[in-house]
A = this chain, B = another copy of it.
Amino acid sequence: MKALVVNQLHQPFAYQDMPDPVPEPGEVLVRLHAAAFNRRDWWITQGQYPKIQLPVILGSDGSGTLDGKPVVIYPALDWGDNPRVQSKAFRVLGLPEDGTFAELIRIPGKNVQPMPEHLDWEQAAALPLAGLTAYRTLFTRCRLEPGERVLISGVGGGVALVAMQFALAAGAEVYVTSGSAEKIDKAVQMGAVAGANYRESNWAADLKVRAGGFDVVVDSAGGDGFADLLSLTNPGGRIGIYGGTLGKINGLSPQVLFWRQVSILGSTMGSLEEFRNMLAFVSQHRIVPVIDSSFALEDGNEALGRLAGNAQFGKIVLQIR
């Protein structure tokens, strides 16, 4: 089969022939039709990830066919039995196990789920990791309720965008932040009430005047700006955090935390049950993930460059013929 292979760190993918994978007991062989990038894939190519083993085929997200039927892949391995947290054995698909940037993948049978009928291959491939992360953060962890006011930070990213779509579908009033006025405009076109540009000074205080405060905040940055998000949180509010691109969190007021009864809730990925619930929610509300751009598998290095540039609005997808 053809695949995008990481043979060395800090080097382009090699588009090359690899042996067809052979399923082990309990596994199946899926013929992939589309895959999608996640920030994780970029970090691995840069050596910024624990326990990298080479060579490896990256990719956590994929759609394809099993016995002629359209499927999407649940991208978690060995989550375990505890809904609260993944087991020590947990891995994300696409390191150390070979991932979806290939024509074929072997995967445990239970990781293969029916594809939502309203999505095409590329849209379905754009959904799994981002959708699962957003679903668990918003619903399992933050327990979002209809009519609540939600703030989604960094709205260009794949998880942030689908979190916005899920929150809108759940009947929330959604605001966004971004460093780009263009991305804010696009989010408003999709249904957000308004946005704030976090590059402007006093953006948080201004937003508080305009919007009043938020019941649920979803963030993947952390850093010094996280204290701004806390300042924007309503009494009884929940802040879900699923990433930390800006590093350590500083300057949090304990008084605001306890007096407002705020919850800060770390979240990553989700269980198979959450994945199934997410797919059902997407089908019920006919949610279509936003695709930023789409490349042929052999043009994977162009796709990676697009991811590295941070200009995307939505998912970067690979077409696999």
Asked if A250 is at the interface of the complex by the 8 Å CB criterion, the answer is yes
Asked if A266 is at the interface of the complex by the 8 Å CB criterion, the answer is yes
Docked pose: A251 CA to B84 CA in angstroms: 25
Asked if A267 is at the interface of the complex by the 8 Å CB criterion, the answer is yes
Residue of B nearest to A236 (CB): B85
Residues B266 and A257 in contact, CB atoms below 8 Å apart: yes
Which residue of B235, B253, B266 is within 8 Å of A262 (Cβ)?
B266
Which residue of B82, B221, B252 is within 8 Å of A236 (Cβ)?
B82
Residues A251 and B254 in contact, CB atoms below 8 Å apart: no
Docked pose: A85 CA to B257 CA in angstroms: 12
**How many of these chains are in the complex?**
2
Asked if A8 is at the interface of the complex by the 8 Å CB criterion, the answer is no
Docked pose: A263 CA to B263 CA in angstroms: 7
Docked pose: A250 CA to B226 CA in angstroms: 11
Asked if A241 is at the interface of the complex by the 8 Å CB criterion, the answer is yes
Binary contact track A241-278/B, C-beta < 8 Å → 1, others 0: 11110011111111111111111111110000000000
Docked pose: A243 CA to B256 CA in angstroms: 10
Chain B residue numbers with a CB within 8 Å of A12 are none
Would you list 21 pairs from A and B whose C-beta atoms are within 8 A, ordered by A residue?
Answer: A82-B236, A85-B261, A86-B261, A226-B254, A243-B254, A243-B258, A244-B253, A244-B254, A244-B255, A248-B251, A249-B249, A249-B252, A249-B253, A250-B250, A250-B252, A257-B266, A258-B266, A258-B267, A263-B264, A264-B264, A264-B265
A residues with CB within 8 A of B: 82, 84-86, 141, 221-222, 226, 235-236, 241-244, 247-268
Q: Which 3 residue pairs are nearest across A and B when measured between Cβ atoms?
A: A244-B254, A222-B254, A85-B236
